[in-house]
Structure 1
Amino acid sequence: MTESTLESLIGAAAYDERGDKIGKVKQIYLDNHSGEPTWAAVSTGFFSHDSLVPLAGAEHLVDDDSIRLRVDKELVKSAPHHDGSRISAQAEQELFRHYHVDPRASGWNTEGSPRIRPGDDSPMTQGNRAFADQSDTVRYGDDSMVRSEEQLRVDTESEEVGTARLHKTVVNEEQTFTVPVTHEEVHIEREPIIDRTGRATISEEDREVVLHADQVHVEKETVPVERVRLAVDEVADEKTISETVRQERVEAEGVDDHRRQQP
């Protein structure tokens, strides 16, 4: 297991879990109870103040003087504002929730991570060095207990719920049209003969007349008439989610509350 000193972390370049640079380490905050490094103040350039990032699961790369944090750079940008030299208990709880850090495993001495030791002249308690600043958050005496509760984190994730497709079929449709046409018909016309001087004979005789009529011919032609596509619309909706959470309650025994309320 690689050993590093707190002094060696000050000024080290800080990178997120994807290798994107966040900034430089300016301060290290120690847990008041265990003395473990818990938070690092990093100068990011995003704001006028430094950003606090968790050291849980971090990796100190001594060769190139850098530290790899187990957080995403975007989370650092949106972290709660902190402009003081000390971290209050309420502020640290906000940071735990923001970074999704388990308060019970927030120190930087878990298995597989570098074990940090102080420098030769640097105690693991509050001193006159910037990296020895302490948090106000976890100083618990023997006469206190920690009350915990479960909190819901709700987010959304897009997943496949079905498919839509276009299917083209062929159907038969009866269409009726009225087409104007013409045809020839025969009728008899009679004209009296005025000049009867010519010679006439009685005989049988035939005459033919060719008749004409319009015939309707139908041809089919395939032509494109429209383009059909599937368009996906995103519709805003609401879903009500119910879940049961557990929380601890602290009750005191043998305490005279009436006596404590007296001036």
Structure 2
Amino acid sequence: MAGPARLCVTNQKGGVGKTTVAINVAGALNELGRNVLFVDLDPQGNATEGLGLLEAYDDEPPTLLDALIDPEAVSPDDIVHSHSEMDVVTSNIDMNAAASALARQSNAETLLEDLLDGIEEGYEYVIVDCPPHLGVLTDNALCATENLVIPALTEPTSKRSLELLFDYVGSLEMDHDVEIEPVALVANRIETTREDEEMLAWFEDALPDVPLYRVRKRVALQRAFTDGKSVFEADEETDMETVFTALAETLEDRFSTREVTA
């Protein structure tokens, strides 16, 4: 039987709201009644903080890094934490040593895949939040999930960052014999300027086969993050809930034929 749908949320350009998008995609899937496992692969632990689990960032070993290096030696209970909307594999301060520690492993780019194979039972979606840069951790996320959600700002620098990302993905596909598909592009923090509208048109022209979602700048998104939850559980309502719901429904359509391992 097929396992859960796996997705990674990444853009090597920092400051694009990657973690906020990842949390709210997971929250939208939970709102649709899906069991979600969220993996914070970013050594900075922004998602761990944004889901109200910052104390876990300073946990003693075994941690996520230990689980990546030797998944059979670590119990899921050591790294999976409960949240009202999803279960969370939290990041940890030890992850700051991940680049050098993982690079010494013979299967450095497939360690996350091996870990997920052992802990994803019973979930319908796995959402992986990546670091804001390319490297061995992002390689792991891309190879393990093969499905890519891309947050991007509506500014000209996004053109170059997307070109670099797709070049990088192409090289990874050839090196590891995988097919990595972009399943959604999230134009984030949109304001009502001519530049924003021009960039939205560019996104549609450059990636005509990738669904585009428009997330406008809303204080409620940041407030929900500060409160440790997605906008779907926040006290303050926002019209951006409908955008994330639409994205989740598209994912449901795409992955509806999958069966979840019991």
- Specify if TM > 0.5: no
Q: Is the helix fraction higher in 1 or 2?
A: 2
TM-score, normalization by structure 1: 0.22
TM-score, normalization by structure 2: 0.22
